[in-house]
Amino acid sequence: MLDNFKEWISDNLRYILLGLAGILLLVIAFFAIRLVSGLGSPKEKKPEQEAVTEGNTEAGTERRVSSTLVKDQADVLKLIKEYYSARGSKNYDAIADMYETFDDKERSDVEKSDTAVESYSNIMTYSKPGLTDGSYVVFIYFDAKLTGVTTLVPGLRGLYLITNNEGKLLIADTNAHPEQEAYLRERMADDDVQALSEDVDTKLENAKASDPELKKLLEPDSSQDTPQTDSPDGGDGGTPVTGTTTGTMVATTEVNVRGEASADAALYGVLTQGQSVEVLENLESGWSKIRYTANGTTIEGYVMSQYLG
């Protein structure tokens, strides 16, 4: 029987080989078609992230579309709490370690703004992605304890954060990177940031209304006979202080800078107590048009005249 099978194999070997060759060609053709088909088909798009690229800035850095504010992101909150703790204790060496660069002018600005502040508390952060990976725009809410005043003063400040080559989160040197300052200002105009600013303004008004000593400190030109209802960056009501004084003046307290002479206008920045500005014009509405430099960027905006001295 085995001999018969061998004889059959011998007689039909060429047909068997032809059959195997045909099967092999079919297999090769199948995989070749799959390969060509895969190369020619469009790739499946990945879902877009919340922060997507919007194009390149003039400096060549990708800019992201503004995303929703993130409250108390862990690494951001940690840095900011350490920063304000150091400011409250006047530990400027510790503060220097939290900056990308911390020169004498930066130190002087921090010292001036903290002159009347004993401590900061109730720190909260609201952040958005920055221009590059590992960078953030952060808006910081805090309550400041002023010397001689019991009531805490609510405040809001914006900073730009970066991550250095060692993976450490730092406060950016926007003097060296003006596009960061410009981006921070753009985010200040976002609806959610404006809403946050208005909420802080309301809290400040409530604090002043509950404490005459605080009101007197923050509004040195106000009196019991002429109650003011203006927020630190201005608002409707009260008796505005007007005049013709122009030239260089300083902010008598921390005050918001607006894009127009209205408390509802876009927030352009924040003046710290003692910061110098150039007063360009005093308006009858009680607002002053000012020009000042922040982190290498010249800004023109409006503040209430009563907060300049």
Q: Are 186 and 259 a contacting pair, CB within 8 Å?
A: no
- DSSP, collapsed to helix, strand or coil, labels residue 20 as helix
Span 174-198, average pLDDT? 88
| CATH number of the domain within which 171 lies | 3.10.450
The residue type at 169: L
Query: Are 288 and 158 in a shared domain?
Result: no
Residue in this structure with the two tokens 């909150």, named with its chain if needed: 77
For residues 62 and 186, state if they share a domain.
Answer: yes
Same domain, 264 and 293: yes
* Residue 153 within a domain: yes
Helices then strands, each counted (H, E), the chain? 7, 13
Please check whether residues 197 and 254 belong to one and the same domain. no
pLDDT at position 186 over 50: yes
150 and 256 fall within a common domain: no
CATH number of the domain enclosing 279: 2.30.30
pLDDT for 240 equals 29
- The residues, any chain, with a CB within 8 Å of residue 138's CB and separated by 6 or more, are 76, 80, 125, 126, 127, 128, 158, 159, 160, 161
CA dist 74 and 91 (Å) reads: 23
Percent of the chain with pLDDT over 90: 25
Domain boundary residue among 151, 175, 205? 205
Residues 248 and 175 in one domain: no
Residue 121 pLDDT greater than 70, yes or no? yes
pLDDT of residue 189: 85
Q: Do 182 and 251 sit in the same domain of this protein? A: no
Higher pLDDT, 259 or 233: 259
| Residue at which a domain ends, from 205, 235, 250 | 205
pLDDT at 292: 85
Q: How many domains does the chain have?
A: 2
pLDDT tier, 52 (very low <50, low <70, confident <90, very high otherwise): very low
DSSP helix/strand/coil, 262:
coil
User: The domain containing residue 295 runs over which residues?
Assistant: 226-307
Say if residue 192 is in the same domain as residue 73: yes
Quote the CA–CA distance of 138 and 76 in Å, as a whole number.
Answer: 8
Same domain for 163 and 235: no
Q: Is the residue at 210 inside a domain?
A: no
Residue 101 in domain? yes
Confidence (pLDDT) at 217: 75
For 45-49, 122-126, 151-155, 249-253, which range has the lowest pLDDT when averaged over its residues? 45-49
Whether residue 143 is found in the same domain as residue 191: yes
Residue 109 lies in a domain: yes
Q: Is residue 108 part of a domain?
A: yes
Q: Which of 205, 236, 265 is the last residue of a domain?
A: 205
23 domain residue, yes or no: no
**Look-up: residue for tokens 């590059």?**
132
Classify burial at 302, counting beta carbons within 10 Å of its beta carbon; exposed 0-12, middle 13-18, buried 19 or more. buried
Same domain? For 110 and 187 the reply is: yes
Please indicate, yes or no, whether residues 232 and 201 belong to a single structural domain of this protein.
Answer: no
User: Do the domain assignments include residue 30?
Assistant: no
3-state secondary structure of 136: strand
User: For residue 152, is it within any domain?
Assistant: yes
Closest CA to 240 of 302, 287, 202: 287
pLDDT the model gives residue 139: 93
Q: Name the band, by pLDDT with cuts 50, 70 and 90, for residue 231.
A: very low
Tell me the average pLDDT of the chain: 76
Per mean pLDDT, which range of 19-28, 49-58, 101-110, 133-142 is the poorest?
Answer: 49-58
